[in-house]
A = this chain, B = another copy of it.
């Protein structure tokens, strides 16, 4: 049984996100404070919400997926901390407050990012220890953790970040922009959906259809972000407040123009909606999510 709205899932994440911080007694204080600072600096929690909702969509209990959802947000938060570093985008603000390194220095901020990434994997392994008596439950979790690791890794998000850094010194192209969006933004969104489906026990047909949904949602999210950035009401998307993707050097709007961007967003939205049409009312949560994304750009 799925919850009724986004905020119910988001509340689960906000309430439990810090529960998974390991061994805080043995930790040096600045590390803990720095990690906590960025984890609690706001954010829409899109990826963990998608993970919880996907788990329930597949018939699972979202409580069983909470560790993995929080791990997802730890990964998202680490990527933002490292993205903002002086050596990368050198941003002073994120989500309306100073970036991690502006408060704790670039050295601690680098280690806090490392710590969040490592912690994400650590807590997923720890969670698996609870399921040692069930081979089926272990398999679900290994599949989920693997898909998260791949989405976050050098064949996913990190590849996108590298291309984003590299794009500054290259001739902009549609192919490059698509590569950055697919990897930097969509890969982790797709991973969140698939991980939730694995834990919830989805069948192959649902896995396939929801993967197409998530790929289109991920790209739609980025194009909508680019449109809102130009329209100046970016705070609706969380962009103006520094959430998720920051000002891209290369955007869909700057490359193709506003009209093409709106057309592209509509196309992606339709693809996402069509991918899950077979599920009728059961897929209302996911249909609403992508439709609202488009309507907010109007």
Where the two chains meet, the residues of A that have a C-beta atom closer than 8 Å to any C-beta of B are: 21-23, 26-28, 30-32, 35, 78, 82, 85-88, 101, 105-111, 113-115, 117-119, 121-122, 125-126, 128-129, 132, 135, 138-139, 142-143, 145-146, 149-150, 152-155, 158-159, 161-163, 165-166
Contacts and interface: CB of A to CB of B under 8 A. Distances in A.
Q: Is the interface of A mostly helix, strand, loop or mixed?
A: helix
Nearest to A23: B155
B117 A114 contact: yes
Contact of A165 (B23, B78, B107, B114): B107
Contacts of A88: 107, 110-111
Contacts of A139: 132
A223 B30 CA distance: 26
Contacts of A22: 150, 153-155
Contact of A35 (B117, B125, B154): B154
5 contacts: A26-B159, A31-B159, A78-B114, A87-B87, A119-B154
A85 B88 CA distance: 12
Contacts of A105: 87
A158 to B, nearest CB: 5
Nearest to A126: B146
Given A27-B155, A118-B153, 5 more contacts: A27-B154, A28-B159, A31-B154, A108-B165, A135-B135
A296 to B, nearest CB: 31
A111 B31 contact: no
Given A122-B149, A149-B121, A114 B113 contact: yes
Among A22, A23, A110, A135, find the residue whose CB has the most chain B CB atoms closer than 10 A: A110
A153 to B, nearest CB: 4
A153 B86 contact: no
B26 A111 contact: no
Contacts of A129: 142-143, 146
Closest 3 CB pairs of A and B: A23-B155, A87-B106, A125-B146
A179 to B, nearest CB: 8
Nearest to A116: B154
Contacts of A109: 87
Nearest to A31: B162
B111 A125 contact: no
B125 A107 contact: no
B159 A27 contact: yes
